[in-house]
Chains A and B, each alone.
Chain A
């Protein structure tokens, strides 16, 4: 699989390590009254769709950036690659 890095261009997926579902960006508020339930869902439950999946890859043997890859789980086709920092800022996070 070739991951088209937003800054570095096309890179072999072997340069990256895989973390999982991009929802891991949205860490729950630990002070929320239902924090226990939300952390349970955050840590353990997954949509695991058989179609398009947004997921976190770490460019470990490259520029050490985190990217959000949208990939089809049935065909392995990569549809979109964004910097995870951009995704997080767009969701209102400071970094």
Chain B
């Protein structure tokens, strides 16, 4: 069923009896050409682009929980392509271009809203670094605008311009950045993949992998064995757990990141604003709630929940940047599992096991990468060659010293 304004009107006049489920609920078949482990944004996008752009094949996505229950529904919905390094920037810009055409492409309202992202700077050194990053972005054909203090004040007069300790010196703005309704991304990709014949199998957890003579034969799941010619793993925070079934140790640690939503307020924050002196980033949802987050809790975790010290730290950052939010009440706090890699950048690569492919290590930047990650992973699965924007995301970059370390933190995953 194609969604359109005409369809909405017709359904409104006929009692909304014509809507059908957006995707089927099939039982797993005995075997597929491609099995994608992980029904999150990246897994669904992979299946969608694989079916649409690359191959007519039998494809399944298997998900241990339900669609939209993992990180794709737990992030702070920000999209941007304001990276500096060559290995990253073309990839994230490719993702941004896919975001811009996404809703027409998969015929689903994902509420892509390019309201801009503003990174504030508070010292001269930080402004120099942002100037450099902005120049790197523009060399890659990406929009970047350096704002001075008055430029920031015009955009967001309610920020704390009187702070003597962390004065606002200006900011780096990417006007094409913004937010997207994250659940709709999962649903849109799921619907788009399903309508092209992809089986989306929920409540189906991988508990083992069958590997013969260095070649993948399929996956053991809680709903029985599923054979596959090729298996792609895109499971974010559970990467180490799933890939351990293939005997692999990854350059990844799982960490917990918390996010927050306040009660609904009148429209006040135009786009996304990030604080340069503390770790705090905030946007406002269409319902009016402030959506914000900060640092990782800092210790390894699979718990999908964090602890109170980070709640305090994030709220202190928020109060320091925009004192006006002090009276707003928090509605919800939640945690998601981040697959923190050793250099803060992701991996989309083959493994030493023939037919087994890996997509992970997105740290806490996976949401904005969803379309390009799916496209690049589908490209790799279909052609056995990396996509031109994802060539640097290899496993062996750690062994070879070719790290893509935007923050220059070294092999300390909780600092990226």
Interface residues of A (CB under 8 A from B): 1, 13-14, 17-18, 20-21, 40-41, 43-50, 53, 55, 71, 73-76
Contacts and interface: CB of A to CB of B under 8 A. Distances in A.
Interface of B: 238, 240-241, 244, 249-254, 298-303, 307, 309, 342, 398-399, 411-414
Contacts of A47: 240, 244, 249
B413 A20 contact: yes
Contacts, number: 68
A62 B252 CA distance: 30
A14 B252 contact: no
Nearest to B306: A76
B240 A20 contact: no
A85 B227 CA distance: 49
Given A50-B254, A76-B301, 20 more contacts: A17-B298, A20-B300, A20-B412, A40-B398, A43-B411, A44-B251, A44-B411, A45-B249, A46-B240, A46-B249, A46-B250, A46-B251, A48-B240, A48-B254, A50-B302, A55-B299, A73-B300, A73-B302, A74-B302, A74-B303
Contact of B414 (A18, A41, A48, A74): A18
B42 to A, nearest CB: 19
Nearest to B399: A40
Contact of A46 (B238, B252, B299, B309): B252
A47 B101 CA distance: 40
Given A50-B302, A76-B301, A44 B253 contact: no
- Main SS class of interface, B: mixed
Contacts of B249: 41, 45-47
Contacts of B413: 20
Contacts of A18: 298-299, 414
A44 B398 contact: yes
A4 to B, nearest CB: 16
Contacts of B412: 20
A80 to B, nearest CB: 16
Q: Enumerate the 5 nearest inter-chain pairs by beta-carbon distance, A residue then B residue, closest first.
A: A48-B240, A45-B249, A44-B251, A44-B398, A50-B302
A73 B343 CA distance: 22
Contacts of B300: 20-21, 48, 53, 55, 73
Contacts of B302: 50, 73-74
Contact of B309 (A14, A43, A48): A14
A55 B414 CA distance: 13
A48 B303 contact: no
A76 B21 CA distance: 39
A48 B147 CA distance: 42
A48 B340 CA distance: 11
A48 B301 contact: no
